Structure 1
């Protein structure tokens, strides 16, 4: 056999193996993104299931706030029907703004704040919010890794050939509030 033919066959096989390796790497990264999104979705659903209990607890003390209760219910439905991370984030941000007004309303009722059922709901909400934040960080890290892999050469050639699209990050507005520096005056 001719050396050029053997070299060509070996070169083609190495190239094909490399393409398969890159393809499998992209598939693994995409599944990591989907798995992380699934974790966020589970925690969000737990929060959505808890919201009617929160409304009922507050409603017992502030029956005249029907507009706020309806808004929370509508936004809960919007969050549940949102499909993409960007849609979910937008709906979640609106829901969180409305929940802030509901929490402020609860502050006006000391008996409500002392209610054991309300305290339990708020404790569960805090735990769920912490889980969402934790899962969001893992999701965004997985998205970052996947998006970088689809953008760098030579992986981007394989990614575009097999229709691997970039994924959306999941960011909530309260992230910026959490990172505000503490202002202290030591003079």
Structure 2
């Protein structure tokens, strides 16, 4: 059987090549991706509708590789922590991909699946409908920022040692350790605040 004249494309192969292109800091677009894959742009368009569709393939591929599937039977706060920690790890591994992801609506079924599990857990816990989407957005922003923080330089602040900030920087933990401590504290603060809000809402309803 003769070999195909051009590489066989699949959603996974397209997504992997696109992620590699962006991770390397190279310009991203249909033409650049086609060159990366060794095919013509027209061949690529036979598999994807355009740049937005490629970005969504990337989103789904990252989620699939990260294996973000919320375990069943968790309490709502455990679901929140699971999703935030899993997202942070996924984002931290590919910080250059993030600006592309946040600029497009989420349509990938895998990603929508863990957002659905998060929304369902919050609603089942008793959070008001009007609050749930806002809480999800807050958690999203925290996970995104924490993921990017892991790619920050070891020395984030170069302050005068005579200032309060400079003194704290001089005594503080190095980059990755500081980022992990900040993330853990942030998770604790978010969960404490959400538990307090839920308790307050329960008291209001009972009154």
Q: TM-score range by the shorter chain?
A: under 0.3
Scaled by the length of structure 2, the TM-score of the pair is 0.23
Q: Counting helix residues as a fraction of each chain, which structure ranks higher?
A: 1
Larger radius of gyration between Structure 1 and Structure 2: 1
Scaled by the length of structure 1, the TM-score of the pair is 0.25
Higher relative contact order (CA 8 A, sep 6+): 1
